[in-house]
Structure 1
């Protein structure tokens, strides 16, 4: 279906065609199996974390409160993208309506922005816990944590509302083939028949705030944390603390670099192909690995999982 734009005499696009990973049938089956496993693992891991933290009063602390929010964001983010991707691989072709594309863009941008802000809040929580332990209970009180988490969700939804609203004002008259497996701001701007200067300006502003500013705040927080760790006399204590920090920093650097690459370097050609791989990192791989990196390696979480789900004992082999 298509409508007419009387002012510009252009045919409006009502359906977009998403690009699959491969036209080869065998490779599509391989991709389908791989992405389905990733999706199921991401759902299972994050749901286990949420249940374990919710049902164990010992884990009702600021750190695990933020981890619960992270798990929710990972579930929402991967569920915004992977079901449509799996549908396209199963049908060997994928289309998405204009409204569906705008909806995917809205929710994906919301959850990506929220996760960037949440990583900053988590870094601040660890900074207060390690560098200012005597003030931790007051600086990270329940009300403060709720305000921080609420700000994460509200600021990101305001940002995505602006981007989606500006995108909805653009006119798409053809072609309708998106050189990606999902709807994102940079890829859709390439198809617009309207001027996109304002959209590009807002992307730069969002990149600076969500990407650069929050990344610097996170790195500065971990800088103070590492400086405090160096003051620990126990060698074993240093190893344990550095192990935790290195895992967190790996997630932070990977997530920020992939998102910034996507929204600062949309480009075309080979960069678009690289963009597919990069998008997979933050929509599929990261939600799968986060429960392992942040929670399932944690002794307290393992103990909680063993008590609630006896069948996971083999995966959580820690001493009582």
Structure 2
């Protein structure tokens, strides 16, 4: 039996045991990672360089692209390195850093998606008050509040999790470090302290979810009352990409952590984890640029230079 003081590394779940499949996984994830870097990098650069995009909606989209780059860079490079070098290990402090960064980026992304829903609600349901409710100072304050709250939340989760004694080995059933996997290795009843933090995070997440649902109910009611088909199309073109991203993110994350043990398996766990940790940052740029003409034009201008 080991404890946390004697653990120097953790063993992550491998995508495959055969060398050829490991190299296939490496090439696949390298392609996804490069696509995420390119897509999100283009969005960040296009929004920063085009003064026509210096509006609240694109300010929040820029923040989302930064968070996407951070979240995918937290998990994928280590997974690719392990596949390339045929290893499963991650250092103790590397695991702690991964838990902190992933918790920070993924929670910040969820909070930012909630703020973006509020932005769309004000733009469509209260357009006359848009400049007042979402001025530049208000946008910066909302973004800073989201980043600050989730930074503290991630720090508390990381500190609380790694203060627990670990006596059930060092093997994690996931391809990256996350809090539930570390808690499975704990042999102490003090895990209730971390459980309290998880409950608080769930309450925060549920509050955001309720706000998202109520916002989109009001948005769709307002959009369906728009008399012109062109007006409805423009409103839907700014809302549907965001709604698609929220749906993908929430459905896969909730299924990953709340699915019944009877249907759990290593393959299923890996696939679902990839869907909520890797796919959203990679497809976000595509989803937002496909239906947004202003952003699409700005990206094409940037690439044409």
**Is residue 21 from structure 1 mapped to residue 15 from structure 2 by the alignment?**
yes
Matches within 5 A, 1:274-285: 274-285=268-279
Secondary structure of 1:203's aligned partner: helix
Shift of 1:237: 2.9
Offset at residue 238 of structure 1 (A): 2.3
Which of 177, 183, 191 is residue 177 of structure 2 equivalent to? Answer: 183
- 2:45 counterpart residue number: 51
Q: Deviations over 1:197-225 (max 9, x none)?
A: 22123212212212x11011011111111
Q: Give the stretch that moved more between structures: 264-273 or 158-167.
A: 264-273
Q: Is the 8 A contact 1:110 1:157 kept in 2?
A: yes
CA distance in 1, matches of 2:126, 2:208: 21
**8 Å Cα contact 2:175/2:270 also seen in 1:** yes
Alignment partner of 1:309: what SS?
A: helix
Q: Offset of 1:259 from its aligned partner?
A: 2.4
1-structure distance, mates of 2:113, 2:34? 24
1:202 matched residue in structure 2 = 197
Q: State TM-score, norm by structure 2.
A: 0.93
Out of 216, 224, 234, the position equivalent to 2:228 is 234
Whole-angstrom distance in 2 between the partners of 1:135 and 1:269: 49
Matches within 5 A, 1:103-114: 103-114=97-108
The answer as to whether partners of 2:164 and 2:186 remain within 8 angstroms in 1 is yes
Match runs of 1:210-289 below 5 Å: 210=205, 212-265=206-259, 270-271=264-265, 273-289=267-283
Query: If the length of structure 1 is used for normalisation, what is the TM-score?
Result: 0.89
SS at match of 2:240: helix
Summarize the Cα distance change of 1:83–1:242 in structure 2 as closer, same or farther, 3 Å threshold: same
Indicate the structure whose relative CO is greater, using CA pairs within 8 Å and at least 6 residues apart: 2
Does residue 307 of structure 1 match 2:281? no
Deviation, 1:11, is: 6.5
Q: CA deviation at 1:190?
A: 0.6
Q: CA deviation at 1:226?
A: 0.4
**Which segments of 5 or more consecutive residues in structure 2 lack a partner in the other structure?**
none
Q: Which residue of 1 aligns with 2:156?
A: 162
Q: Which moved more, 1:199-208 or 1:284-293?
A: 199-208
Q: 1:39 to 1:268 in 2, by over 3 A?
A: farther
User: Are 2:107 and 2:150, in contact at CA under 8 Å, matched by a contact in 1?
Assistant: yes
Query: Contact 2:113/2:242 (CA < 8 Å) preserved in 1?
Result: no
1:192 is matched with which residue? 186
Greater Cα shift, 10-19 or 40-49: 10-19
Please, what is the CA RMSD of the aligned residues? 2.1
What's the secondary structure of 1:96's corresponding residue? strand
The question of whether the paired residues in 1 share the 8 Å contact of 2:120 and 2:239 is answered with no
Aligned residue number for residue 126 of structure 1: 120
The number of aligned residues is 304
